Structure 1
Amino acid sequence: MKITDERKRTEAVLDIYRSKVDTIPDNVWDRTPPGGGWSFAEVYSHIMQGTLLSTKAAERCTQSNCRPTNNKMNLLGRFTLFFGTFPPVKLKEPARVAEKMPALKITKEEARNMIIKCRQRLEAIIPLILNPENHGRIAHPRMGMMTAGQWLKFIRIHLQHHLKQIKRIENKFSI
């Protein structure tokens, strides 16, 4: 995996999120879609909070304070990173993750600001990830122990995954 290529791909997905904020009508932004589920606002809240937390995990991997471990990713983690997508089954967010970063009905302006903050965090951690001496691992709630580079790839995969959810919400509102 080339870190610079992964960064470009991640930034391209963030560009999609940014452009979608402006195309989603204000009157449905924070409404629960017909049939239930998260609103656009809640998806943006979840995905941007998740991206920020993942950049923090990646950064921690680049510090010398990670507890040494031989543990690696589990089967789900290896599958996800190898294929670049989550398995085709619906998984519910782990309770401890939902508690740490609840999906909130944020405003469009808050979504835009969170996207900017995610970009700034990516910019800050890329040089750290590129340093070959930085090779610690931090546990992901579902995927096992991951390196900084693996966290970076996970960020992109997670962002792309939730674009599918955005599309389902658009379809429910006939946008």
Structure 2
Amino acid sequence: MSVKSDQNNILQSLKFYSSFLKTVNEEVFLKTPQQGEWSYSEVYAHIFSAHILSVIAIEKCLNKTAELKIRKPDWRVRLILFFGRFPPVKYKVPAVLADAVKKISKEDAANQLVKLQKRIEDIHVGFSKFNPHYKVKHPRLGYLDAKAWLRFILVHSKHHQRQIKRIEKMLQTI
């Protein structure tokens, strides 16, 4: 779970989103599979807004403008980050992110994906000044340091890759 390996794994995950985007047409991209479920478009909007906020949290930690907290995250959070997977429970999006979940076009998604990839590629530079005591609060996981935020991006990205595959199955049955 080094910074470099997490960064590379995140970039691999973003390649999945890029490749998938090329395979789906605009109409299907925007289509809601069933009541209460997100469209591909909404998943993309969510991951972009969540990951950009996560990158900002990382930057705050690395620039030492975050809060100084000595305590480690809860054991459950550490397990999520260690195993790289959320428990198999459906989560409600935190209110702070729910407003950002809207439908975006494929072009918007492609542009935001390029920007996010660039931010992730550049992020490792700041880790030379990493201090585990500078933390920013996550809406569900509590206070995370820069390495934990980077790991969260990976876990979150993979979580939504699985969601994309579930949506694909739902749309095939319609």
Instruction: Output the TM-score relative to the length of structure 2.
Output: 0.92
More helix by share: 2
After TM superposition, list the pairs within 5 Å mapping 1:132-147 onto structure 2: 132-133=130-131, 135-147=133-145
Aligned to 2:118: 120
Partner residue of 1:150 out of 126, 148, 151: 148
Distance in 2 separating the partners of 1:135 and 1:117: 28
Q: Report how far residue 145 of structure 1 moved.
A: 1.1
Q: Report how far residue 66 of structure 1 moved.
A: 2.2
Pair 1:142–1:75, CA change in 2 (3 A): farther
Distance in 1 separating the partners of 2:131 and 2:165: 40
Structure 2: gaps (5+ residues):
none
Distance in 2 separating the partners of 1:70 and 1:46: 30
Structure 1: gaps (5+ residues):
none
State the secondary structure of the residue aligned to 1:137. Answer: strand
When the two structures are aligned, how many residues end up with a matched partner? 173
Kept in 1, the 8 Å contact 2:61–2:146? The answer is yes
Identity, % of aligned pairs? 38
Aligned to 1:3: 3
Give yes or no for the alignment of 1:171 onto 2:132.
Answer: no
Kept in 2, the 8 Å contact 1:51–1:155? The answer is yes
Q: Report how far residue 132 of structure 1 moved.
A: 4.0
Q: Report how far residue 118 of structure 1 moved.
A: 0.7
CA RMSD, Structure 1 to Structure 2 (Å): 1.7
Instruction: Output the TM-score relative to the length of structure 1.
Output: 0.91
Q: Can you list the C-alpha shifts for 1:126-163, whole angstroms capped at 9, x where unaligned?
A: 11024345751111111111111111111011000001
